[in-house]
A = this chain, B = another copy of it.
Amino acid sequence: MGIVSINKDFGAPKYKQIVSSIEEAISNGIIKKGDRLPSINSIRDKHGVSRDTVLSAFNDLKSRGVVQSVAGKGYFVSSEAIHVKQKVFLLFDELNAFKEDLYSSFLNVLGDNIQVDIFFHHFNYKLFSKLIYDNIGDYSYYVIMPANLKDTYQVIRNLPSDKVCILDQMHQELEGYTAIYQDFENDIFNNLKKGLDLIKKYNRLIFVFSEDKQPPGMLLGFLNFVKQFKFEYEIIDSARNRVPESGEVYIIPDDRNLIRIIKSNKQTKLKLGRDFGIISYNDTMLKEIVEGGITAISTDFNKMGEQLAELVTNKEYVQIKNPNDLIIRKSL
């Protein structure tokens, strides 16, 4: 295989494709400072392009100080400092408050010369698939939050696997990819266990769980917990029209349901954190002060954003479990 490749990217001019394939070879360490580039004529013959096309590519690199030419000898790499402008494809499920932290810490750690484009699939497989197919080859890195969509591997495998990072929810079929994920099953189990003493004040756990939005691991972890510690429990998919009763603890991943419960409790005389409890999911600033503080099981979205930025810049192959913690406040 040669260093240069042309016609991977249909839209780009040929000379730019030559430039970027050489830049890539340098950044991957295939060619190093002092190495000779293939001659102009050899590239012309091998790829069937005009001599001028190769020349304009080399001139581009030369004007930027990446290569130097020596008459009668050839072109040589003179600097490995290529400022490849990176573009990152960031595919979220939906827009919501706690992505603010993730996104802004991601951008802060990334440099200014990296462009990030955001997309949302809204839990719609066809849209998910279209967004990825339409953008194959256009980005230097793909960050994908598959949420609980199934069969995403069928789409994702069309991307270069060294340029993909799976975010938040991990699926078996995607095991081979770089990922920053939450281990929902163990996290909810361990964090409930961590709050066991406080939960024991109550006698009944209500999990507000929607199959469409929440990951299945959450449910499994919850069920493990109630079985192991022999709690009475109930699973409901919405808190609409639900009025809390004494001795109940609500575990609420979705903020709309959180508000429903708190508002409907205004009718009762129950005191939150004494007569009934709430454990929320995904911490946001406002939860620090709502009703004196809402207890939350939450991953550290700032940390997730920072680590993601490091992955994008360093292109390591790793699977990172993002830390998750129980933040105890007055609602429990």
**Which residues in B have their C-beta under 8 angstroms from that of A34?**
10
Q: Knowing A118-B118, A291-B289 are in contact, say whether A70-B11 is a contact too (CB < 8 A).
A: yes
Q: A13-44, CB under 8 A of B: which get 1 and which 0?
A: 10000000000000000000111100000000
CB distance from A316 to the nearest CB of B (A): 26
Partner pick for A285 among B13, B73, B80, B259, CB 8 A cutoff:
B259
The answer, yes or no, to whether A255 is at the interface (CB within 8 Å) is: yes
Interface residues of A in 114-170 (CB under 8 A from B): 117-120, 122, 130, 133-134
- The stretch that binds B, out of A97-105, A177-185, A228-236, is A97-105
> How many of chain A's residues touch chain B, expressed as a range?
35 or more
Q: Is the CB of A290 within 8 A of B285?
A: no
CB distance from A229 to the nearest CB of B (A): 30
CB distance from A13 to the nearest CB of B (A): 7
Q: Which residue of B is nearest A129, CB measured?
A: B81
**Which residues in B have their C-beta under 8 angstroms from that of A100?**
95-97
**How many copies, total?**
2
The answer, yes or no, to whether A1 is at the interface (CB within 8 Å) is: no
Q: Knowing A95-B103, A95-B104, A97-B100 are in contact, say whether A263-B291 is a contact too (CB < 8 A).
A: no
**Which residues in B have their C-beta under 8 angstroms from that of A133?**
33, 79-80
Q: Which residue of B is nearest A101, CB measured?
A: B95
C-alpha gap A289/B289 in the complex (Å): 10
The 18 sampled A-B contact pairs (Cβ below 8 Å) are A10-B36, A11-B68, A11-B78, A13-B70, A65-B134, A78-B134, A79-B130, A81-B134, A94-B104, A95-B95, A95-B118, A259-B286, A262-B289, A263-B289, A284-B286, A289-B290, A290-B290, A290-B291
**Which residues in B have their C-beta under 8 angstroms from that of A222?**
none
The answer, yes or no, to whether A58 is at the interface (CB within 8 Å) is: no
CB distance from A80 to the nearest CB of B (A): 8
C-alpha gap A36/B10 in the complex (Å): 9
**Which residues in B have their C-beta under 8 angstroms from that of A287?**
286
Q: Which residue of B is nearest A291, CB measured?
A: B289
Q: Is the CB of B286 within 8 A of A134?
A: no
The answer, yes or no, to whether A93 is at the interface (CB within 8 Å) is: no
**Which residues in B have their C-beta under 8 angstroms from that of A306?**
none
The answer, yes or no, to whether A288 is at the interface (CB within 8 Å) is: yes
**Which residues in B have their C-beta under 8 angstroms from that of A290?**
286, 289-291
Partner pick for A13 among B73, B76, B130, B286, CB 8 A cutoff:
B73
C-alpha gap A291/B291 in the complex (Å): 6
Q: Which residue of B is nearest A256, CB measured?
A: B285
C-alpha gap A290/B289 in the complex (Å): 6
Which 9 pairs, one residue from A and one from B, show the smallest C-beta to C-beta distance?
Answer: A97-B97, A10-B34, A286-B286, A79-B134, A262-B289, A290-B290, A259-B285, A81-B130, A11-B70
